[in-house]
Amino acid sequence: MKKSFFTAIILSLILVSCSEDDAPSTQPPNFATPADYTFERDGQSTVNFTGQTTRILMAEEVLNAFTDFENTTELSLQAMYDHQEGNTNFTNENLNASDKSVRGKTAASQDYFSANTTESAAIKALFDSYISGQINEVFPNQNVLATAGSAGQLGDGAKTRYVNNQGLVYTQIFAKSLIGSLMADQMLNNYLSTSVLDAPNKVEDNNNGVTEEGEVFTTMEHNWDEAYGYLYGTSVDPANPNATIGKDDSFLNNYLGTVNEDPDFSTFAADIFDAFKLGRAAIVAKDYTVRDAQAAIIRQKISELMAIRAVYYLQQGKNLLTNGDFGGAFQNLSEGYGFVFSLRFSRNNNTGTTFFTKSEVNGFTSSLLGDGPNGFWDLKPATIDRISEAIAAKFDFTVSQAASAN
C-alpha cells in the first residue's frame, strides 16, 4: 500500500483529534495491513461478530412479516422484534435459540443512551407504534384503495404499496429508521467509541494479549469486530465483503453498495472497508492513534451515507409527487423519512455528538407531515427542498449530487 495513503489517514486523525499543542506525526504505521479482514492468533481466527449477524437476520424476518397479511398479528410481530430466548418467533431455529433481540439494541449505545434512558425508551416505543400501526391501520385496509386521510393500497408500477391515512409506508419507515437506531448507533456510538474501546482494563489487556475467557480474541478486538459485523455480518465473504457489497442485507450493507455505484461517491465502500481493516490491524499492533483515526473515518462516512440516502429519497419522492405518482412518491418519502430519523444517530468527529440533534430531527419529521392534515398527501415541494438543503449543508455534498444517486 502506498505511503501517500497512510499519510492521508494520519492527517485525518490530526484534523479530528489533535490539539494545537500536539506534535502530530505524518509517518505511516509501522505495521503491516492484511489484504483482507483476516486476523489470527495461534492459527485461529480472532474475528467474531455472530451477535451482529443474528440481529441482522432477525431484522430481515421482521421486515418480511410486516406484509405477511395471512399470518402476522400484532403479538407475533412484536414478539419477533423483542425476541426472547427459546421462543419460536422465526423460521430460522438458530435465531429462535438466540438470547439476542433487535429491540434490545435499538437506541442503546453507550455514548448516546446509557445516561439517556428516557429517550431510548421513547424510541423503542416509536418502533412499537409502527408495528401497531401496520396491524391495526394498514392490515384491515389491505384491499382498499388509499385516499387522502384513509389507509389502504396504492399502485407503484408492478408493485403495491400499503400506506396509513397519511401516506406513510410503515415497513419502510421501520426499516430505514432501524439502520440508524440499531446498526449505525451500535457501530458509531458504541463499539467504535473510545469510551467502549478504552474502558477499564481493555487497553492493558490488549497490550498484554489477555483474551476473553474461553476465546482467542481480546475484548478490544472483539468490540471492533462487532462494529464491523453491523455492516458486513451477512456478507458472502466477510473477509472480502466489497465483492458483494449492497447485496448481502436490507440495511447498511445494501445502501453502502447503492451509494458506492454513484460516481460522486464511488470510493465509499473502499474507504470504509480499508478503515475497518487498518483499524483492526492497529489494535493488533497496539497503535491506538491509528485505530482512532480509522474510527473517525468510519463515523464520518457512515453518517454521510445516511444523509445522502435521506436527501435522495426525499428528492425522488418530490419528483414523483409532482407527477401524481402517489404510490411511488409515498414509498420514497417513507424511506426518506426513515433515513432522516436515522440522522439522530450520526456522529460528528469535531463535536463528539450527533450531526443533528433530537430537536432538529423531530423538526424535519414533523415538517414532512405538517403541510396539511393528510401528511404526505399535502406535502409541498418547498418543504422537501428546505429539509434536503439543511441536511446537505452539514456535509460535503450537494442536494443535486445526492439526488442523482441510484
Q: Taking a C-beta distance cutoff of 8 angstroms, is the pair 92, 61 a contact?
A: yes
Helix (H, G, I), strand (E, B) or coil at 160: strand
For residue 362, pLDDT over 90 is answered with yes
pLDDT at 256 over 70: yes
Alpha helices by DSSP H, listed for 67-116, are 74-81, 93-97, 110-113
Label residues 21-37 b or e (16+ Cβ within 10 Å = b): eeeeeeebbeeebeeeb
CA-derived radius of gyration, the chain: 22
pLDDT score at 19: 37
CB 167 within 8 Å of CB 330: yes
pLDDT reported for residue 97: 98
Mean pLDDT of the 3-15 span: 38
Entry pTM: 0.92
Which one-letter amino acid corresponds to residue 263? P
Q: What is the pLDDT of residues 191-205, one digit of tens each?
A: 999 999 999 999 999
Using DSSP's 3-state secondary structure scheme, residue 44 falls into strand
> Cell 393528510 appears where?
374
The pLDDT value recorded for residue 28 is 63
Of 27, 28, 26, 85, which Cα lies nearest the Cα of 51? Answer: 85
Interacting residues of 381 by C-beta distance below 8 A, sequence separation 6+: 318, 321, 322
Q: Which grid cell sits at 164? A: 396509513
Grid cell for residue 40: 489470527
Residue-range domain boundaries for the chain? 40-404
Q: Is the pLDDT of residue 228 over 80?
A: yes
**pLDDT > 80? residue 89:** yes
Per cent of the chain over pLDDT 70 is 93
Task: For residues 365-380, give the mean pLDDT.
Answer: 98
Residue 58 C-alpha cell reads as: 432477525
**Does residue 14 have a pLDDT over 80?**
no
Confidence of residue 309 (pLDDT cuts 50, 70, 90): very high
In angstroms, the CA 223 to CA 295 distance is 12
Query: Which pLDDT tens digit goes with each residue over 30-66?
Result: 898 889 999 999 999 999 999 999 999 999 999 999 9
Burial 68-104 (b: 16+ CB within 10 A, else e): eeeebeeeebbbbbbbeeeeebbeeeebbebebbbbe
pLDDT at 33: 85
Q: Which three cell numbers stand for residue 211?
A: 483474551
